[in-house]
């Protein structure tokens, strides 16, 4: 972990007046528990709503040909865990996160932690600046590409459907998804799913819900089959 907020602020293009607020946005629950301080969980909650508002407004104003249902699908893709994870990687969030010893030892669910921290930083940026336009600039700069892609592929089927069609092209097969692992506290569960075809294991995936884990397993299976 690098404790140099100047580098982080340069990465995201915003300088915090309240550095304690920034530190809280980068504090995972494991570190907070070990050090008896507040984690980024409440900020993450607010950031999720801000992210949804900004992306919804952008879609409403700039994609007038999309229906309400299509805008919902595009938004879901643009602000999903994978997209937020890519934002975190782009700005090197992992170098600045405060993680507890337990989390550092297990390295569990890194993708979810990084995605959550992006939402927390978005909320912290809003509270610090008291200016939605400042936050909007950061958000749109980082999700425009995903929005453009999703808007052009809004009718694309989900991974489980695509995998099923690929595997059944020559006839009926038995496709099964199994949850093979479940870890973490009740409020922050991580699931590992495995997909198999006619008893043959194809791939595994990790997600914050059983459905997300199954979808990730299907995505990895498609990659391997391709």
Q: Please tell me what DSSP assigns to residue 1.
A: -
- CB of 70 closer than 8 Å to CB of 93: no
Tokens of 178: 């199994």
φ, ψ at 182 (rounded to 5°): -145, 125
What are the tokens at 11? 């990465």
First to last CA, the chain: 37
Is 48 an annotated catalytic residue?
Answer: yes
Considering the candidates 103, 119, 194, 216, report the single residue annotated as catalytic: 119
Is 119 an annotated catalytic residue? yes
Q: Residue 101 in contact with residue 32, Cβ under 8 Å?
A: no
Residue-wise DSSP of 136-184: HHHHHHHHHHHHHHHHHSTTPPPHHHHHHHHHTTTS---EEEEEEEEES
Say what the alpha-carbon torsion angle 51, 55, 56, 60 is, to the nearest 10 degrees: 160
Q: Which of 48, 52, 70, 148 is catalytic?
A: 48
Sign of CA dihedral 67, 144, 146, 8: negative
- For the annotated catalytic residues, the residue numbers are 48, 119
């Amino acid at each position: 972990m690098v404790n140099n907020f100047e580098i982080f602020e340069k990465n995201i293009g915003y300088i915090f007046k309240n550095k304690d607020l920034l530190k809280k946005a980068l504090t995972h629950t494991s570190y907070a528990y070990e050090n008896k301080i507040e984690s980024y969980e409440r900020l993450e909650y607010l950031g999720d709503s801000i992210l949804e508002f900004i992306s919804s407004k952008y879609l409403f104003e700039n994609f007038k040909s999309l229906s309400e249902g299509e805008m919902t699908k595009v938004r879901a893709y643009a602000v999903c865990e994978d997209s937020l994870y890519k934002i975190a990687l782009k700005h090197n969030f992992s170098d600045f996160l405060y993680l507890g010893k337990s989390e550092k030892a297990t390295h569990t669910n890194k993708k979810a932690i990084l995605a959550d921290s992006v939402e927390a930083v978005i909320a912290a940026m809003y509270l610090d600046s008291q200016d939605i336009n400042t936050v909007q600039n950061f958000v749109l700069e980082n999700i425009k590409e995903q929005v453009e892609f999703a808007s052009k592929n809004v009718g694309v089927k989900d991974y489980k459907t695509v995998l099923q069609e690929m595997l059944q092209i020559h006839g009926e097969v038995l496709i099964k998804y199994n949850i093979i692992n479940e870890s973490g506290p009740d409020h922050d569960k991580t699931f590992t799913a495995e997909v198999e075809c006619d008893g043959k294991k194809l791939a595994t995936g990790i997600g914050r819900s059983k459905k997300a884990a199954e979808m990730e397993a299907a995505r990895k299976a498609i990659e391997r089959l391709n």
